[in-house]
Structure 1
């Protein structure tokens, strides 16, 4: 893959990143700094260790219904913030929200701790431009299609790509968001929203149970375990859903539908249709394909908070079916 050009480290360019930070509203320039890599490792590693410890801790009695409720609520809010907000709205413009809903979805997605909204969108738009080809930031097929190459590519697509020091140019892939003062504001507030996502469950848990133990168990389950689970579900769309799954619709990549991820991913794992028709607001378009994100968008539309929804069109779907060509030839 060809990385974006990086300016030579001479004296005049050393002050450029500070200006670029202001212009783009991110936590750094187009190249990750050492502290960003360290922070990323901590936010991936510590929640993952919590998942490994989850079974013995639950077995020991340190899991209450308060913890379950808080974990489910924060997972649902942050997960739909990613799916509806970062993905279907800000990346693909599947609908038009009113201003409060736009703010709410940008904030909710930031609580997932997957990066500032502008950065996330730039990466995902580049993924669609080069999906499963050279230039894709996280294709599991980047090293080839042998078992060894695919195993290496799978790990890279799942988590390894996050540590690539070269980042997607935001001015190239998300210029519309950089012109949106509301989105830039939320993007700049990302550190505060990270702190909120990590600490708020503990605060609520402590007040709810009126105990230190309640705060600690809520922090463990509704912060650490919830963050790790949502991270790995999101990354599974990059890795699992581009390696296996049904492909009923034509696309120029290897995106597939993985049914057992549908609920946890808020409908994102109906990935084949999404890559066949990226701007469609509903990904689970076939019978029995549960898509909670699409149902939420439907609710927003009924409430008057969203408009111009790009709902699936029957004729458009039929034209994209894999067996459509065969039916056409048979008719001819």
Structure 2
């Protein structure tokens, strides 16, 4: 990889804008006060598909993606009863968690969604592949949904706000479940043409997006094959599949979903955000989320390549971006400056 060269300006996809959608897109519905449930017509940008075979198929596939890792966790617990987990399973799970997690945070999120840096094309594609191995959806759909979330944060139009059902106790509990996982079952696709036209124009990213089903199979086949190679038995292959495959996927899913849910309800808000935007910093998730849970600064300055900007705020994703910058594989990194950070403090 030391021979990688930067893509020419004509071949490099345009860096996404500052995430703010045009006024005609990002204006909240009339009468929304930040406390009541979202109006029913709020999701006009992404109407639900008619109830039919395609809708049932979507729900079935989503349920399999969400539930299968849980079943794996239960099976792993049953297998562990009275026995020990193999060290190789732990190491495989840790390695794949780091690779896929950084693929999501550095590749999908800080790079492709927000343009916090530019990457040489092989690294751009490799990070997109790594993020796709997380089982969180195809790269273009992921980016489009997240950009829409920023355009309408915690107000009508946000696909996964915990305030969808209001700010009273029952609404908050229902909203927390919706923001964490419930929104995945609504089958309300976000328009990639509106929110991710730059990725639709990128041939390599389109190819990665189309390959998502195959990459899902690969993310399970890799630990199975590694377990077989290390242990030489079906049992070792299956335990590796459970821990480095299903359990690893389940953990990363819930860490990512917790940023959508908990990091808009619990934690500190040292930085100013837009009206109705309640993004918070939640330190217990910082390491597991690779720095994504410093969510308040991220919503105050979405294109910043670093989210943890205060003393003691660990941000592994930013450290990885810095490493890539030093070896010349990413450039034009948008590091936060003291003046920029101070200007956004509450």
Q: TM-score, normalised by structure 2?
A: 0.84
Distance in structure 2 (CA, Å) of the matches to 1:49 and 1:314: 47
Q: 1:111 to 1:258 in 2, by over 3 A?
A: same
Match of 1:177 in 2: 199
SS of 1:309's equivalent? coil
Q: Tell me, in whole angstroms, the C-alpha distance in 2 between the residues paired with 1:128 and 1:7.
A: 20
Aligned to 2:326: 302
Kindly state the Cα deviation for residue 5 of structure 1 after the two structures are TM-superposed: 6.5
Q: Give 2:237's aligned residue.
A: 215
Deviation for aligned residue 1:160: 0.5
Deviation at 1:288, TM superposition (A): 0.4
Query: Alignment RMSD, CA only?
Result: 1.7
The answer to whether structure 1 residue 257 and structure 2 residue 257 are counterparts is: no
* Contact residue 129 and residue 208 of structure 2 kept, 8 A: yes
> Taking structure 1 as reference, are residues 8 and 236 closer, same or farther at Cα in structure 2, changes over 3 Å only?
closer
Q: Deviations over 1:160-206 (max 9, x none)?
A: 00111221011000000000111001001111100000111011111
Give the match for residue 279 of structure 1. Answer: 303
8 Å CA contact 2:58–2:187 kept in 1: the answer is no
The CA deviation at 1:40 is 1.1
The match for 2:44 is 3
Change (3 A) 1:56 1:149: same
Alignment pair present for 1:269 and 2:293: yes
Matched-pair contact (CA < 8 Å) for 2:49–2:55: no
Give distance in 1, aligned partners of 2:259 and 2:54: 23
After TM superposition, the score normalised by the length of structure 1 is 0.88
- Which of 58-67 and 78-87 deviates more? 58-67
Which position in structure 1 is the counterpart of 2:335?
A: 311
**Which whole-Å CA distance do the structure 2 matches of 1:62 and 1:203 have between them?**
21
The answer to whether the 8 Å contact 1:3/1:166 transfers is no
How far is 1:55 from its partner? Answer: 3.8
Which is helix-richer, 1 or 2?
Answer: 1
Determine the C-alpha separation between the residues in 2 that align with 1:304 and 1:8.
45
**For the structure 1 residues 54 and 149, does the alpha-carbon distance in structure 2 shift closer, same or farther, using more than 3 Å as the test?**
same
Secondary structure (helix, strand or coil) at the match of 2:43 reads coil
**Residue 153 (structure 1) aligns with:** 175
Q: Is the 8 A contact 1:32 1:167 kept in 2?
A: no
- Give the drift of 1:289: 0.4
Structure 1 residue 241: deviation in Å?
A: 0.2
Structure 1 residue 130 corresponds to structure 2 residue 136: no
Question: Could you tell me which of 136, 143, 146 is aligned with 1:114?
Answer: 136
The answer (yes or no) to whether the contact 2:280–2:294 under 8 Å persists in 1 is yes
> CA separation in 2, counterparts of 1:237 and 1:83?
11
Residues 1:289 and 2:330 aligned together: no
SS in 2 for 1:286: coil
Q: Distance in 2 between matches of 1:97 and 1:166?
A: 31
Matched, 1:238 2:232: no
Residues 62-97 of structure 1, C-alpha deviations (whole Å, 9 max, x = no match)? 510010001001111001100000000000000000
> CA 1:8/1:237 → structure 2, altered by over 3 Å: closer, same or farther?
closer
State the alpha-carbon separation in 1 of the partners of residues 296 and 250 from structure 2.
25
Uncovered stretches (5+) of structure 1, i.e. residues with no partner: 10-30, 323-332
Partner SS state of residue 267, structure 2: coil
In structure 2, relative to structure 1, the CA distance for the partners of 1:306 and 1:245 (3 Å cut) is same
User: 1:225-246 deviations in whole A, cap 9, x for unaligned?
Assistant: 0010100100000000001111
